[in-house]
């Protein structure tokens, strides 16, 4: 019996996802965001097996070359192919963004759980602590981490995950509190539900729209942070392709070769805009209150349940 229930739940979930996607696709900005993110994913996967030129070919006699048939976006200061490096950079950035989102989601949810805890001492202390911690700039955390760890992807992920998790927790607290103090949670608790169950089945689902917006904002900011920290020399280490690396190596010569700076700059801008838009559209699409199509699916699914 429980098996069939699970099956049905999976089917409903799939239906929800399909409806949400369709709703997003219907809007122009949603189309833009979905296309950009899909392209990003595709390019990152392709770059694992193929790039137009090997990343490790350098040619000192043809540095800072203009775009040509051999080098579609020209070459950089070592004579390496800019297009290949940007392609390969997309996979590093994708990895950083995914890891940052996961870390900040876990960290943020942990903090939310602490802030809405029934133990009022824990709840009020964590609010104060988060308010204090949120004042530490992400760049400062990264600089401190870089002392023992050196330049590495972990520095970016930990620093950003930590900082954005704090933000997430603070922004999500009111909605989480509303759910945690609601009548249905009280009745669930009275029926013997554990705190963990309340968090997973009531508080998190009620916070999903806020989480979607915050996490996609974090994803966009993580792309920017990668560029900034790599420029400072504490982000992606030398020899690992990333958009920040391409930007950092070319930005010194923006006066002489503005075109070489343009490509990574353009990609970062488009991706960050896409991620931010994606968050907005996703929020509208997965919120049953804002999306009538979702309500209909829920209604029909509910009827099926009753049957």
Residues at the site binding another protein, with contacts judged by CB under 8 A: 56-61, 63-64, 77-80, 150-151, 233, 237-239, 245, 248-249, 252-256, 289-290
DSSP state of 75: B
DSSP string, 47-88: HHH--SS-TT---GGGTTPPP-SSSTT-B-TTS-BHHHHHHH
Cα–Cα nearest to 104, from 166, 151, 189: 166
d(CA 162, CA 154): 12
Main-chain dihedrals φ then ψ at residue 81, nearest 5 degrees: -75, 120
Least distance CB 291 / another protein (angstroms): 11
Cα–Cα nearest to 271, from 232, 208, 216: 216
d(CA 47, CA 131): 42
d(CA 151, CA 273): 27
Neighbours of 284 (CB within 10 A): 20
d(CA 99, CA 160): 10
Least distance CB 112 / another protein (angstroms): 22
Least distance CB 108 / another protein (angstroms): 24
Least distance CB 150 / another protein (angstroms): 7
Query: Tokens 């009022």 sit at which residue?
Result: 120
Nearer to another protein, 24 or 101 (CB): 24
Contact call for residues 302 and 246 (beta carbons, < 8 A): no
- How far, CA to CA in Å, does 154 sit from each of 52, 141, 144, 160? 29, 12, 13, 10
Least distance CB 287 / another protein (angstroms): 8
Nearer to another protein, 79 or 195 (CB): 79
Nearer to another protein, 121 or 256 (CB): 256
Least distance CB 44 / another protein (angstroms): 22
Nearer to another protein, 195 or 237 (CB): 237
Least distance CB 257 / another protein (angstroms): 8
Nearer to another protein, 292 or 302 (CB): 292
Nearer to another protein, 85 or 164 (CB): 85
Nearer to another protein, 54 or 119 (CB): 54
């Amino acid at each position: 019996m429980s098996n069939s229930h699970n099956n049905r739940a999976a089917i409903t979930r799939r239906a929800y996802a399909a409806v949400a996607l369709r709703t997003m696709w219907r809007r122009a900005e949603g189309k833009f965001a979905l296309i950009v993110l899909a392209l990003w994913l595709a390019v990152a996967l392709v770059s694992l097996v193929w790039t137009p030129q090997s990343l490790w070919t350098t040619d000192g006699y043809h540095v800072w070359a203009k775009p040509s048939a051999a080098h579609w976006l020209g070459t950089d200061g070592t004579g390496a192919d800019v297009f290949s490096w940007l392609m390969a950079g997309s996979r590093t950035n994708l990895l950083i963004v995914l890891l940052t989102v996961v870390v900040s989601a876990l960290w943020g949810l942990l903090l939310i759980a602490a802030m809405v805890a029934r133990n009022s001492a824990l709840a009020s202390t964590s609010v104060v602590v988060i308010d204090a911690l949120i004042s530490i700039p992400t760049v400062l955390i990264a600089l401190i981490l870089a002392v023992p760890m050196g330049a590495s992807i972990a520095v970016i992920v930990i620093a950003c995950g930590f900082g954005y998790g704090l933000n997430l927790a603070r922004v999500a607290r009111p909605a989480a509190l509303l759910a945690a103090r609601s009548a249905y949670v009280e009745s669930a608790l009275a029926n013997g539900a554990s705190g963990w169950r309340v968090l997973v089945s009531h508080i998190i689902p009620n916070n999903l729209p806020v989480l979607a917006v915050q996490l996609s904002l974090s994803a966009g900011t993580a792309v920017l942070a990668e560029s900034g920290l790599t420029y400072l020399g504490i982000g992606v280490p030398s020899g690992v392709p990333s958009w920040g690396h391409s930007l950092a190596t070319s930005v010194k010569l923006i006066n002489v070769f503005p075109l070489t700076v343009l490509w990574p700059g353009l990609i970062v801008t488009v991706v960050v805009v896409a991620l931010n838009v994606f968050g907005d559209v996703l929020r509208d699409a997965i919120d049953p209150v804002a999306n009538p199509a979702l309500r209909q699916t829920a209604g029909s699914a509910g009827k099926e349940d009753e049957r």
